[in-house]
Structure 1
């Protein structure tokens, strides 16, 4: 899976819905950003996209 975050839309740690919702713990907070830390663990479930209030997260095959 390819996981991307649009940082123009992402609210970062003040939101972090994707970090909290991801069952595979793909995301983590580093400094003032949410980052894709373990893309290889992504199962493609799409929960991160569902919970992101700004549509900043995308998961593609």
Structure 2
């Protein structure tokens, strides 16, 4: 599986909807940006994709 953030679209910590809503805490804020911290914990629920207002997150099952 892969969880990818398109940093050209991501608003970073000022948005952080994915960080706040991911039920298994795949994302976290490091420094001044949102990062995929625990990709292997992803359950493919797609909540992060649904809540991202800029469509910056892509989740794919391998």
Normalised by the shorter chain, which TM-score bucket? over 0.9
Which sections of structure 2, spanning at least 5 residues, go unmatched? none
Cα offset for 1:46?
0.2
Cα offset for 1:45?
0.5
Q: Give the whole-Å Cα distance in 2 for the aligned partners of 1:15 and 1:40.
A: 23
TM-score normalised by length of structure 1: 0.98
The 5-angstrom pairing of residues 1-61 of structure 1 reads 1-61=1-61
Cα offset for 1:30?
0.2
CA RMSD of aligned residues (A): 0.4
TM-score normalised by length of structure 2: 0.97
Runs of 4+ in 1 over 3 A off after TM superposition: none
Local SS of the residue matching 1:40: helix
